[in-house]
Amino acid sequence: MASSGSRPLEGKVALVTGASRGIGKGIAIELAVAGATTYITGRTVKPQPGSAVSLTEAVEEMAWLGGKGIAMPCDHTDDDAVQSVFDRIAAEHDRLDILVNNATAMDDYHDSIGKPFWLLSPSVWDSTMNVGLRSAFIATQKAAPLMVAQGGGLIVNVSSIGSKEYLLSVPYGSCKAALDKLTHDTAIELTPHNVMVTSIWPGLVMTEPLLLVAEKKPDGRMELMGVDLRVAETARFSGLAVVAIATDPNPMRYAGQPLICAELAHQYGFADLDGNMPPVVRTNADVFAGLDDIPPLYAGLYKAPLAAGQVAGSKLGIRLVRDAAGKLRTAALE
C-alpha cells in the first residue's frame, strides 16, 4: 500500500477537493505517497494564527513523505474558480485519472450539529448543499469530459452512514443521501465510458474539528458521545481505501455503490497507520450498542433495542482488546 513505500499510482494525476485538512487531506497524502501527482483545493492557503491547517501545510507534508502535491486555492461556490482548476490540470497534463469530491461547508456544518432543523437558518441548508452536493456535481461535470476522452478514470465521493442514518443534522444527512444518489446516477452514465464512480463511507475519523469537541477522561482517553476514540480512524485511513480502489484491477464492480472504508481494509488487507483495524460501522446501532447512556437526540429511536446490548453485528460501542501483536481490536458483546 501507499504507506509502505510502493508507488502504484506513478504517472497518474489526481484532484482532491477540500483537502487542506481532515479526510480530504488524508486522502490527498496517500494518493501522493502512492505516486500520483495530486492537486488539492481549499480556501485556506497559509496557516492562520493558532492553526497549522492550510493547503501549504498539506503540500509540505506530502513532500516530506515523498509525494508531489500542488495547491490550488479555490472556493467551490465559485464556478469560474472551479473551471480554472480543471483548465490548469488539462493544460499541464491533458488528463485527470482520479477525482475525489470532499469539499464541504465546514463552518455551517459544525454549527448545525445537535440543533433541531426548525431552529437552523435556511442559509445552513444552502451552504451545506452548495458545498458538499452542488460542488461535487460541478467537479464531476468538469472531470467527465477529460476522463471520457482519455478512456477511463475514477471518481470518489466522500459520503457517510449519514446518507442512511440520522447523523449530526438534517442538512448533513440530506446532503449525504443526495450525494450517494449522485454517485449512483453519474455511474450509470459514465460506466459505458470506463469511468468508475463510487462513494466511500469513512467511520469515526480523528479530524481537527472532532478533537475540539471530544471530551478528555481522567485516564487520558478521549471520548465523543460516550464512544472511546481509540477506535477512531485516522484521516489517512480513508486515503488507503481510495488507493486500494484506484489500484484494483477490476474496480468497476463497485460502480455506483457506497463502500465502507473499514470493510475495504478487511478486503484488501490494509490497516490504519498505527496498525489498528477500525471497526466496520454500518448504522448508528453499531455506534451506540453497549453504551450506558445514549445521546438524548437519539434516545427515542435507539434506547429500547439497545438497552440490553442486543444488536446483532454491533462493533463500535463495545470493549477493546489487544491482539497478539498488541494492536487494538474490537471484541464481541458479552
Active site residues: 172
Q: How far apart are CA 248 and CA 332, in angstroms?
A: 31
Return the amino acid letter for 321: V
Q: How far apart are CA 34 and CA 17, in angstroms?
A: 18
Q: If 0-12 CB within 10 Å is exposed, 13-18 middle and 19+ buried, where does residue 150 land?
A: middle
Q: How far apart are CA 113 and CA 116, in angstroms?
A: 9
Cell 453497549 sits on residue:
290
Return the amino acid letter for 71: A
Q: What angle do CA 139, 141, 142 make, to 5 degrees?
A: 65
Cell 489526481 sits on residue:
14
Residue among 241, 270, 275, 272 nearest 258 (CA): 241
Is residue 221 within 8 A of residue 228, CB to CB? The reply is yes
Listing DSSP states for 213-264 in one string gives H-EE-TTS-EEETTEEGGGPBPHHHHHHHHHHHHT-S-GGGGTT-EEEHHHH
Q: How far apart are CA 45 and CA 73, in angstroms?
A: 6
Is residue 137 within 8 A of residue 182, CB to CB? The reply is yes
Q: How far apart are CA 38 and CA 69, in angstroms?
A: 5
Q: How far apart are CA 269 and CA 272, in angstroms?
A: 10
